[in-house]
Chains A and B, each alone.
Chain A
Amino acid sequence: QITLKESAVALVNPTETLTLTCTFSGFSLTAGVGVGWIRQPPGKALEWLALIYWDDGKRYSPSLQKRLIINKDTSKKQVVLTMANMDPVDTATYYCAHTVGSSNGGWGPKWFDPWGQGTLVTVFS
């Protein structure tokens, strides 16, 4: 059974850097496997943020690329996303999720399953 769980500080000050950790079980970051991050502001839509593959290939949302860094620790079964220069508009529930990629059309996020339970991060205003 694949499970993922997000962890982060719940409250962040503006301009600070947020560190999100995804700890997973039930799979390994082997050929084709990836972990992505998606966020959802309260009452709003989902927004894809970033993805990392088993081979350290990385993809970022174009609109947030300058603020995001994604890394993995295969031995700890963790994926870490940092987001710099936090702002109140970044208040959201942040989810990590599992995916399996393919070279068809290029390596990138095509679907996510399953998702973690999410962690709410609030940026003080």
Chain B
Amino acid sequence: QSALTQPASVSGSPGQSITISCTGSSSDVGAYNYVSWYQQHSGKAPKLMIYDVTHRPSGVSNRFSGSKSGNTASLSISGLQAEDEADYYCSSYTTDTTMVFGGGTKLTVL
């Protein structure tokens, strides 16, 4: 069970949009619409930002959106703000009823 592949880092200026990719396989990302995304600020617990590929939990800004094509899921953030600077992790449900996480992406707001 291999970890999902994410870019190690992405960056953007305030107000810009960025996208973080999450690549898996036909046994996880490509198998179901059960990809979720978590935001983790330094020293804090992860926070759910997106679930079931595209759904936002109550209270999460609509600047955050998710999508999926084949074995790759993506998290997009529009109108970047300083508070968005954090680590982001994707996760996916798998065909053996387990969960796998990505390696994480550090977002820097320039």
Report the contact-size class of chain A (Cβ under 8 Å from the partner). 20 to 34
Q: In residues 34-55 of chain B, which contact A (Cβ within 8 Å)? A: 34, 36, 38, 45-48, 51-52
Count of chain B residues with a beta carbon within 8 Å of a chain A beta carbon: 27
Instruction: Across the interface, name the chain A residue whose C-beta is closest to B103.
Output: A45
A62 located at the interface, meaning its Cβ lies under 8 Å from any Cβ of chain B in the complex: yes
A54 located at the interface, meaning its Cβ lies under 8 Å from any Cβ of chain B in the complex: no
The answer to whether A107 and B97 have CB atoms under 8 Å apart is yes
Q: Which residues of B contact A117 (CB under 8 A)?
A: 45
User: Contact partner of A48 among B31, B100, B103, CB < 8 A?
Assistant: B100
Give the interface SS of chain A, mostly helix, strand, loop or mixed: loop
The answer to whether A115 and B93 have CB atoms under 8 Å apart is no
The answer to whether B98 and A114 have CB atoms under 8 Å apart is no
Cβ of A4 to closest chain B Cβ, rounded Å: 9
Cβ of B50 to closest chain A Cβ, rounded Å: 9
Task: Name the 6 nearest CB pairs between A and B, nearest first.
Answer: A108-B97, A113-B48, A109-B99, A111-B51, A111-B36, A48-B99
